[in-house]
Amino acid sequence: MHPALLMVVVAVAGGAWAGIPKVTPTVGEVWPRPQSVVSQETYVIVRPETFSFTVVGHTCEILTEALQRYMNIMFPSTTSKRTQHPWTKDGNFSAYLDVLNVNLLAACEEQPYQGMDEQYEIKIDSPDAPGEGSLIAMSVWGILRGLETFSQLLVPNSGAYNVKSTQIRDFPRFSFRGLMLDTSRHYLPLTKIQQTLDLMAMNKFNVFHWHIVDDPSFPYVSSAYPNLSEQGAFSSSHIYTEGNISNIVQYGKMRGIRVLPEFDTPGHTQSWGSQPGLLTTCYKDSTPDGTFGPIDPSNNANYDFLKNLFTEVTSRFPDHYIHLGGDEVSFDCWKSNPNITEFMAQQNITGDYAKLEEIYITKLIDIVSNLPTKNGYLVWQEVFDNGVEIAEDTLVHIWKNGNAPLIFKEELKKVTEAGYNTILSSCWYLNYISYGVDWYKYYECDPQDFDGTDAQKQLVVGGEACMWGEYVDRTNLIPRTWPRASVVAEKLWSSKDHTNDTSSASPRLEEHRCRLLDRGYDAEPIWPSFCASDVSDPA
328 is catalytic: yes
Long-range contacts: 389-394, Cβ < 8 Å, 24+? 389/358, 389/362, 390/365, 390/420, 391/365, 392/419, 392/420, 393/421, 394/420, 394/421
| DSSP-assigned beta bridge partners for residue 292 | 281
Q: Which of 328, 389, 417, 470 is catalytic?
A: 328
Rounded Cα distance, 149 and 28, in Å: 10
DSSP structural state of residue 118: -
* Cα 122 from chain centroid (whole Å): 25
φ/ψ of 112, rounded to 5, equals: -65, 155
Residue 182 · residue 469 · CB < 8 Å? yes
Give the DSSP H or E segment for 408: helix 405-417
Neighbours of 24 (CB within 10 A): 12
Give the DSSP H or E segment for 101: strand 99-104
Q: What are the helix (H) ranges across 205-300? A: 227-232, 242-253
Residue 101 · residue 135 · CB < 8 Å? yes
Helix (H, G, I), strand (E, B) or coil at 312: helix
* Cα 386 from chain centroid (whole Å): 27
Write out the catalytic residue numbers.
328
